Chains A and B, each alone.
Chain A
């Protein structure tokens, strides 16, 4: 790449390693960028909707991942192109903010850029296009607010929440079992939600799984599932009305942190040392016993001597429990984490109605289920699945559904899915475009066209004739003024999404539009790409 030449036609060296850099600029740069973005969007297009297909991705070290989640697909694809990376980040930020609609946002951005390309060919300034898109986006958002419904829910009436979660899950692998899954998710979110502050900390919901069993075996545990078993095989497998002591100190003589050395020079001293050590174990077990604990959860391990003593004293124990689980356990059971044996007392113990060991099929794996906690602010969803890939995908799907439920707790407005909201927005933007003088009118119309790509893709993925289905629904929406009409992907016989109970969150839909418009503007605004050619 050369910027300038001197009078003899030889290039100036102005930039460092100039000859190694490549540069494209002007309309060419925009075209190349749009092309890259479209390529990424096209990959995701077939994953959209309830009849969307999954992608199988193999990582460099041979792990296989099968997923339908847009953010995961893009992340695992390891896109190299910089513009492609922008779309990956786009889907990631939708994932972080909303958790759902990660495919839709990329497809929408791709469609917007495709439309923009046509406008650029007509010689419209890229920024005028971007500005038109922004205006159109505002019109679309206003329309979303207009057609949005808010519904009331309470702890007793969770039906609307479940319906919305079902819409999210319907496109996933758990689709056949979505009703129960959705209910589980909603119950889990409501269990940890702070309804007054409208705050949900998803970290309090643990999604855990074990290979084997069926999807239907999944269950919601008001409490915790630990991937651990009792420290001694002869300890009781089930404890009713357990009093739990949570310890972050090991079952062994305490060690000073300062470097230390015990000088043993006589046999007596050695005897004394051994005796002291033994006394420590006895003391520790006694303290636990005295506090009234019937189960000891320990962050660290303990050796066989302690294990034996615990068994002898009929005190079941679990060792090597991780910090995060310890914390959740403490919250669930109302226990205080005890850092020293001397601080152990009855009021620091937690309670749980039952603690039992669960075994699976013929495997030796055991898990510990702690249920019936007084303060069920920490819950676990425990899923089963045929193999690891399915299990991972189920976990991802549940994450999406949990996010949706959380968003509804925050803001209980919904719009109708199945492309109904997009079609309605498309109509609204078109109407707004007519009123707009100037080049922006073209851009706004292009935006309206781009919005239709979502219902189009939905119809296509469901095996319906895309254009016929779309035009039919669109004309009906216009005629009947009913913004609930969408693509009948499930072949339920009606286009009314209200009857089909296909909901999406308003915040998620808005976010999709905002983010897609934003990224479009960013890509359109670039007219110069300078990169080291070796970088590929």
Chain B
């Protein structure tokens, strides 16, 4: 006798559950990890990704690639999130965190298949993660409190390590210096990133990039008369406005009714007087440079040209903010009663040619709490990638300034933590010993991947590293992979450093992600919730089609 089917969920809902679901989630994550795997390290490769609109990105940055892949698999999305959070939190190590999480999952896959309860693994991983973080802390060396010159060179080394894996690695010392200069220009207390501008100008070599100690922005749209204005000043007064300087109707929808044609002239004059009064107020304030967020019309341009004043309208908001921060000027929303105090100043202003563009440069600002990097390069994609790379480096320097502790890079710290975890595991009775050992083994993926990407024999190098790290006197604890020769080297001595924070955050985030994926044993997908609009329909359909293949969801329902 057939039992009537109990329909619990809406038709078409996909449910998969049990161990098989867990395994398939792990498989999906590992597939994603394989995509970014090859980007790790100084010999890591780039990915070229088209999106559906035909835009192309060439990148080495883990977070960027993960984002562009448009992953729809629910479990694999966790990996995208951790790389994005690593990007937001520390800015670098976005590939590391994904690879680490993937490796942790790979290690525990065997256990799950053998029937170990996932919660047991999770508990052990959490403990191991906390221990690992503790070890990284212990191993870190503080670089704070040293004299500025030494501190500077240390920061440069950190930046150079971060740039090592990027397209700009050929000029890493040049850029490391630039990055450190840029970050040191910022206010030490806040390190506000928005005051650090990056401008991209196509053409020129990488080395033609330069740092402006102050603000730089592209020449804005100008009206006739602009070229007659002077293009260079020393110690000018700078007036920032947020109003339109144009001849226009003062009020929308207003209508003037005239009964006598003679009044005509008065109305016209009145309008002109309004704009002239505004312009005169600007000129009277003593400013030599007038910038506005909104348009500065042709009349105003010619008026200023007549009085040897430089003006630029439609300046982007962020540039305006930076000019304000650098020169000490305050943005005005009216020109009446301009106080001298609202004017800013800088040592030198000029309009200069950069590549095919003309740039306005404000340098030698009194409160130079801002800096602008002008990047040059052969193609748009190239500069974009350079910008992303520098962003990573800037974040690293910024982090190092705030939290001045570094560890040896090149996989050295991973090997060291791995060894310590193994030592620790031996002291534990029970199943946890196995899991902590697995965690320790997973950490070794970083040096292994570095070797693989560089085309060396990973097993060979790893054994050398294990031997060094096992030395009783601890002299080998800073040994990592030497990517240029395929041997091992004391990476601390070789100045391959990374901030401890990057590692700590990576280990924590990867452990969290692995635990999260392990703790899921059922996926319920509501078919409708996935397709909020027609465009996402295709993706949702595809997602559901695949979901059916997974687990035993189907069999259970029958």
Contacts and interface: CB of A to CB of B under 8 A. Distances in A.
Interface string A174-216: 0000000000000000000000010111011000000000000
A258 B271 contact: yes
A511 B224 contact: no
B50 A527 contact: no
Interface string B38-51: 10001101111111
Contacts of A79: none
Interface stretch (A335-343, A442-450, A453-461, A490-498): A335-343
B353 interface: yes
A99 B186 CA distance: 37
A467 interface: no
Nearest to B456: A125
Interface string B250-275: 11011111111110110110111000
Given A6-B27, A18-B542, A525-B167, A97 B45 contact: no
Contacts of A511: 204-205
A82 B259 CA distance: 67
Contacts of A272: 260-262
B116 to A, nearest CB: 19
Contacts, number: 267
A401 to B, nearest CB: 17
A127 interface: yes
A4 B28 contact: yes
Nearest to A323: B224
B60 interface: yes
B298 interface: yes
Interface string B217-249: 000000111111000100000000000000111
B423 interface: no
A336 B353 contact: no
- B225, B226, B539 interface centre (most CB from chain A within 10 Å): B225
Nearest to B70: A16
Interface of B: 20, 23-24, 27-28, 30-32, 34-35, 38, 42-43, 45-52, 54, 56, 58, 60, 69-73, 76, 167, 170, 202-207, 223-228, 232, 247-251, 253-262, 264-265, 267-268, 270-272, 298-299, 302-303, 305-306, 352-353, 355-356, 358, 377-382, 385, 454-455, 538-539, 542-543, 545-547, 549-550
Contact of A530 (B50, B258, B382): B50
Interface residues of A, number: 85
27 contacts: A3-B34, A6-B550, A12-B546, A14-B76, A17-B70, A17-B539, A29-B48, A82-B48, A82-B50, A94-B203, A126-B45, A256-B268, A261-B257, A262-B257, A263-B259, A276-B261, A276-B262, A339-B299, A514-B204, A514-B207, A519-B379, A521-B167, A527-B46, A528-B45, A529-B48, A530-B69, A531-B48
A522 B203 contact: no
Contacts of B299: 248, 339
B32 A14 contact: yes
Interface stretch (A61-69, A326-334, A380-388): A326-334
A258 B23 CA distance: 72
B31 A12 contact: yes
A254 interface: yes
Contacts of B546: 10-13
A440 to B, nearest CB: 10
Closest 7 CB pairs of A and B: A13-B546, A514-B205, A4-B31, A89-B379, A97-B203, A96-B356, A527-B45
A479 interface: no
Interface string A92-120: 11111100000000000000000000000
B33 to A, nearest CB: 10
Given A337-B224, A528-B35, A19 B378 contact: no
Nearest to A33: B48
Nearest to B32: A14
Given A519-B382, A527-B45, A259 B543 contact: no
B56 A331 contact: no
A535 B54 contact: yes
A525 B453 CA distance: 12
A134 interface: yes
Contacts of A94: 203
B261 A14 contact: no
Interface in A144-177: none
A280 to B, nearest CB: 9
A253 interface: yes
Nearest to B484: A438
Given A96-B355, A511-B205, A535-B50, 17 more contacts: A4-B27, A6-B27, A6-B549, A13-B547, A14-B32, A14-B76, A15-B70, A15-B71, A97-B355, A199-B352, A254-B268, A269-B260, A272-B260, A337-B302, A511-B204, A514-B378, A531-B49
A3 to B, nearest CB: 4
A522 B46 contact: yes
A532 B53 CA distance: 9
A518 interface: yes
Interface string A288-299: 000000000001
A478 interface: no
B223 A323 contact: yes
B48 A528 contact: yes
B408 to A, nearest CB: 23
A126 B259 CA distance: 83
Interface of A: 3-4, 6-8, 10-19, 29, 82, 85-86, 89-90, 92-97, 125-128, 131, 134, 197, 199-201, 203-204, 248, 253-263, 265, 269, 272-273, 276, 299, 323-324, 326-328, 330-331, 336-337, 339-340, 510-511, 514-515, 518-519, 521-522, 525-532, 535
Given A6-B27, A330-B225, A528-B45, A518 B302 contact: no
Contacts of B549: 6, 8, 10-12
Contacts of A10: 546, 549
Contact of A14 (B72, B254, B305, B355): B72
Contacts of A12: 24, 27-28, 31, 73, 546, 549-550
Contacts of B204: 93, 97, 511, 514
A245 to B, nearest CB: 14
A260 B267 contact: yes
B548 to A, nearest CB: 9
A11 to B, nearest CB: 7
Nearest to B43: A127
Given A521-B170, A522-B382, A260 B256 contact: yes
- B31, B45, B46, B226 interface centre (most CB from chain A within 10 Å): B45
Contact of A89 (B32, B52, B380): B380
A86 B57 CA distance: 11
Nearest to A520: B378
Nearest to A330: B228
B54 A125 contact: no
Contact of B30 (A4, A131, A248): A4
Given A6-B550, A535-B52, A255 B268 contact: yes
Given A97-B203, A97-B204, A201-B353, A263 B34 contact: no
Nearest to A322: B224
Contacts of A203: 227
Contacts of A515: 205, 378
A530 B48 contact: yes
A326 B202 contact: no
Contacts of A29: 48
Contacts of B267: 256, 258, 260
Contact of B46 (A7, A331, A526, A532): A526
Contacts of B261: 262, 269, 272-273, 276
Contacts of A11: 546, 549
A248 B356 CA distance: 29
A219 to B, nearest CB: 24
A31 to B, nearest CB: 14
Nearest to A105: B378
Contacts of A85: 56
A11 B549 CA distance: 8
Contact of A323 (B54, B250, B298): B298
